[in-house]
């Protein structure tokens, strides 16, 4: 090993990688939880140590130079190795303390996780729990989360995935809205009402049409990418929405539409990295979440 050839600092490399991936010093500073001048100094120090220019300014933008683009390929490999080192170290930890990052949808994070976390805090009061409320699938490989609660089965080979429950969902609306438009007695009357969209409307239509709900884009005059916002719009009387029975039971001033109709069913998966699963703190949280999610689903069936 030629130790003299390694004349740069990992923190400088980390700042370079974050800047390249985020597109600016300010964006890199946010994800690294540093100041913009600090990131800029780290990148400048790396350029000086390597004797190359990594970025060039074009207006207000930063563009990678040819040298920077070539270096980025190797830096990403370094980051992958660093992540594997972190995973290995975490997997060897047997202390029920430290941080566990859980990612779930914004609706589950708001309405369901808090109750479950109370039980986890009782079991392990020294844990530090960080909730990543996101409707996007977070990357466990890159440590964006330690445990993910998902409604689709993870397919990566080095993840541990467990089907913990099958939940149910139905149509709901505010009583004030139903008082105004009437309570539908069948699916034909249901599709004459307004619907509140969540996420991509075409995806919702593609899910509802095969289930015998012949809605079109005209039914969706309001909606949001946020599940919390969409549910609040339903509660405020803007139209009919689909929600899990568990969340609906926790929401005042909401009424089930077509109460005799068979519910929609969807799976709840827990996922974590295979190495993380051997860490005692992550194993404890994983098992606690699995038990409580199963209990919740069973109690509502």
DSSP letters, 199-223, are: S-HHHHHHHHGGGT----GGGEEEE
Tell whether the model's pLDDT for residue 48 goes beyond 60: yes
Q: What's the mean pLDDT when you consider all of the chain?
A: 86
**Average pLDDT for 247-263:** 94
Question: Considering the entire predicted model, what is its pTM?
Answer: 0.67
Rounded to an integer, the average pLDDT of 140-160 is: 77
Please tell me the predicted confidence (pLDDT) of residue 263: 94
Is pLDDT of 23 > 80? yes
The band of 50, judged by pLDDT with boundaries at 50, 70 and 90, is confident
Rank 81-85, 173-177, 290-294 by mean pLDDT and report only the highest. 173-177
pLDDT of 246 above 70? yes
Quick: pLDDT tens for 62-78.
888 988 888 888 888 88
User: For 131-143, what is the mean pLDDT?
Assistant: 71
- Per-residue pLDDT band at 153 (split at 50, 70, 90): confident
Sequence-separated (6 or more) residues with CB below 8 Å from residue 161 = 153, 154, 269, 270, 271
- Give every CB contact of residue 24 below 8 A, 6+ residues apart in sequence: 61, 62
Helices of type H across 23-137? 25-32, 36-50, 66-92, 106-111, 113-123
Query: What residue has token string 């990566």?
Result: 156
Beta-carbon contacts of 289 under 8 Å, excluding residues fewer than 6 positions away, are 102, 116, 120, 147, 149, 164, 270
Looking at residue 187, the DSSP 8-state letter turns out to be H
Mean pLDDT of 206-220: 95
pLDDT value of position 87: 56
Q: Count of alpha carbons within 13 Å of 189, Cβ hemisphere only?
A: 9
- Which pLDDT score, from 0 to 100, does residue 160 have? 83
Lowest mean pLDDT among 93-102, 124-133, 172-181, 199-208: 93-102
Length of the chain: 301
Instruction: State how far the Cα of 36 lies from the Cα of 243, in Å rounded to an integer.
Output: 42
Q: How confident is the model at residue 11 (pLDDT cuts 50, 70, 90)?
A: confident
* pLDDT band of 140, cuts 50, 70, 90: low
């Amino acid at each position: 090993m030629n130790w003299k050839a390694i004349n740069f600092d990992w923190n400088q490399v980390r700042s370079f990688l974050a800047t390249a991936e985020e597109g600016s010093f300010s964006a890199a500073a946010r994800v690294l939880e540093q100041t913009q001048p600090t990131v800029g100094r780290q990148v400048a120090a790396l350029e000086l140590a390597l004797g190359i220019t990594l970025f060039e300014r074009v207006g207000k933008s930063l563009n990678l130079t040819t040298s920077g683009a070539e270096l980025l390929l190797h830096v990403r490999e370094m980051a992958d190795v660093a992540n594997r080192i972190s995973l290995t170290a975490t997997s060897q930890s047997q202390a029920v303390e430290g941080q566990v990052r859980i990612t779930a949808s914004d609706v589950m994070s708001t309405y369901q996780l808090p109750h479950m976390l109370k039980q986890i805090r009782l079991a392990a009061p020294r844990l530090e729990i960080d909730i990543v409320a996101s409707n996007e699938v977070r990357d466990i490989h890159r440590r964006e989360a330690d445990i993910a609660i998902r409604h689709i089965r993870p397919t990566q080979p080095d993840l541990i995935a467990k089907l913990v429950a099958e939940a149910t969902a139905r149509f709901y609306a505010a009583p004030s809205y139903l008082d105004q438009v009437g309570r539908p007695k069948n699916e034909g009357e249901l599709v004459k009402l307004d619907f509140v969209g969540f996420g991509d409307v075409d995806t919702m239509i593609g899910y509802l049409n095969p289930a015998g709900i012949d809605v079109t884009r005209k039914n969706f005059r309001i909606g949001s990418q946020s599940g919390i916002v969409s549910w609040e719009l339903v509660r405020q009387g803007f139209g009919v929405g689909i929600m899990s029975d568990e969340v609906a039971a926790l929401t005042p001033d909401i009424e089930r539409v077509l109460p005799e109709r068979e519910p929609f069913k969807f799976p709840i998966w827990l996922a974590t990295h295979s190495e993380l699963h051997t860490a005692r703190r992550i194993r404890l949280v994983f098992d606690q979440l699995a038990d409580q999610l199963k209990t919740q689903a069973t109690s509502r069936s």
